[in-house]
Amino acid sequence: MDTLVLLGSFFLFMIVGVPVAYALGLAALAGALWMELPLDAVMIQIASGVNKFSLLAIPFFVLAGAIMAEGGMSRRLVAFAGVLVGFIRGGLSLVNILASTFFGAISGSSVADTASIGSVLIPEMERKGYPRDFATAVTVSGSVQAILIPPSHNAVIYSLAAGGGISIGALFMAGVLPGLLLGLTLAILCLFIAKKRNFPKGEVIPLRQALRICVQALWGLATLFIILGGILSGVFTATESASIAVLWAFFVTMFIYRDYKWRELPKLVHRTVKTVSIVMILIGFAASFGYLMTLMQIPLKVTAFFASVSDNRYVILLMINLLLLALGTLMDMAPLILILTPILLPLVTKLGVDPVHFGMIMMVNLGIGLLTPPVGAVLFVGSAVAKLKIEVVVKALYPFFGALLLVLAMVTYIPAISLWLPGLMFK
C-alpha cells in the first residue's frame, strides 16, 4: 500500500498537469504523511539533494553552452563541417550530423543543439533541394549525440542519482565512442538515402577560405580539449573544468568572435539561471522521492520481480531497454534518470553490468525518448524550428529510429564500446 500511495499520487499529479518536479515533491510528502514520517525528514533530503559540489558542473556547462550557442559558434561549426564533408552527395545532411557532433561537445544539450544547428541548417538544406521533413529528422536525430559526448549534463545527473560514487570523468569518456558510433551510423543512413533520392552534391570550398573557416572554428572546439584535457591530466576536476569552460567561452565569444553584444549578456545569464533553477528544483524533489522509495524497498521489489522473470543478463537488459523506451515517451530525461537509477542500478550491478556501462545504456534509451511523442522535447523544438507538424517529422524519423535502435543494441550488448576509453584513461 505504501508503494501505491507514493507512485499513485505521483502519476495522479502528472495526469492533472502538475510539472514533474513538483509532482515528485508532492508525492514524497504524500508518502511521508502516509508512513507517518516527520516532514522534516523530507525537507532534509531535499536540501541535501542539492547540497553537492559536483552539481556546480551543471550551471557552468549550461552557461558555457549558452554563450557559445548565441555567440555565433553554431554558424562557424556548420561552416567547418561543410569544409570536411559538404562536397559529398547528400553532404549537407552529413554537415548537419557533424556539426551536431562538434556542438554537442560544447553544449552538452540536445535541445540547444537542435535549436542552434536547426535554425542554420534546416532552411539551408531546404534551399539546396532537401525535403524540409528530412532536414528536420536529420537535425533532431543527430542532436542525440549531445547526450553522450562530453560534457553531458545528464551524465552529471546520473552520477548524482547513482549516489555520487561513479566518476563523472569516467562517464564523460564512456560517452565518446557511443556518441561517435551514433553519428557514424546516422551518416551511413544519410548517404544511403542521398543516393536513393539523388540529393545534390555540395561545392568544394577554396583552400584559402577553408583555412579561414577552420581557424575560426578551432577557437570554439578548443573548449572540448580544455575540458577533457584538464580532467584527464588531473589539472582540475570535472566540476572545475566547467567553470574553466565558461571563462574560455566568454573570452572566445566576446573578444575573438565579437558577434555578441555586451548588453545581451544579462538576458543570457537570466535565461541560464531559469534553466538551472528548474533542474535544481527537480534534483531536490527527486532526492526526497528516492528517499521514500528506499524506505518502501521499491528497488528490492523491482529486483525481485526481474529475477523472477529470468536470470539471464541479456534478457533482463532487453526488458530494461523496453521499459526505458516506453517511459521515455512519457517523461523527460532528467526526472527519469533521477527516479529510475536508484531502482535499476542495484539490479544490473547484481548481474555484473558495470555502472558506467549502464549509464550509457540509459542515456541512449532516454535520448531516443526525446524524439518520440507525446513528451519528446527535442522533437517539439525541431518541429517548431522547421515550422512543421509533429506527425510529419515523426514519419520522416522512421528510418532514423531504426539506426538509433541499432546503436542502442550495440551499446547494450558490447560493453567495450562504453568501457574501453574509461579503462584506458582511468586505470
Distances from the Cα of 387 to the Cα of 99, 117, 136, 331, angstroms: 21, 15, 10, 24
Cα angle: 113, vertex 165, 426; to 5 degrees: 75
Q: Check if the beta carbon of residue 426 is closer than 8 Å to that of residue 173.
A: yes
Cell matching residue 15: 495526469
From 293, 329, 317, 287, select the one nearest 163 (Cα to Cα).
287
Residue that has been written with the C-alpha cell 516527520 in this structure: 38
The pLDDT assigned to 123 comes to 87
The pLDDT assigned to 70 comes to 73
What Rg do the C-alpha atoms of the chain give, in angstroms?
22
Q: Which residues of 70-82 are buried (b: 16+ CB within 10 A; e: fewer)?
A: bbbbbbbbbbbbb
The pLDDT assigned to 401 comes to 94
pTM of the model: 0.85
**C-alpha span between 10 and 25 (Å, rounded):** 9
Where are the extended beta strands (E) located within 19-139? none
The pLDDT assigned to 179 comes to 93
What is the phi/psi pair of residue 290, to 5°? -65, -35
The pLDDT assigned to 427 comes to 60
From 59, 422, 54, 114, select the one nearest 245 (Cα to Cα).
59
**C-alpha span between 257 and 222 (Å, rounded):** 14
Between helix 355-369 and helix 333-350 the angle, nearest 10°, is 140
The pLDDT assigned to 188 comes to 93
The pLDDT assigned to 289 comes to 83
Per-residue pLDDT of the chain (427 residues; tens, 9 = 90+): 777 888 888 888 888 888 878 888 888 888 888 888 888 888 888 888 778 777 777 888 888 877 877 777 777 877 788 787 767 787 888 888 988 888 887 777 788 788 878 888 888 888 888 899 999 999 999 999 988 988 888 888 898 888 877 888 889 889 999 999 999 999 999 989 988 888 877 777 888 888 888 888 888 778 777 777 777 777 777 778 888 888 888 888 888 888 778 888 888 888 888 878 888 888 888 888 888 887 887 777 777 788 788 888 899 999 999 989 988 887 778 888 888 898 899 889 988 899 999 999 999 999 998 888 877 888 888 888 888 888 899 999 999 999 999 999 999 999 999 999 888 876 6
The pLDDT assigned to 71 comes to 72
Can you say how many angstroms the Cα of residue 383 is from the centroid of all Cα atoms in its chain? 18
Residue that has been written with the C-alpha cell 548481474 in this structure: 351
Residue 261 neighbours by CB under 8 Å, 6+ apart: none
**C-alpha span between 257 and 189 (Å, rounded):** 34
Q: What is the DSSP letter of 18?
A: -
Strand partners for 201: 89
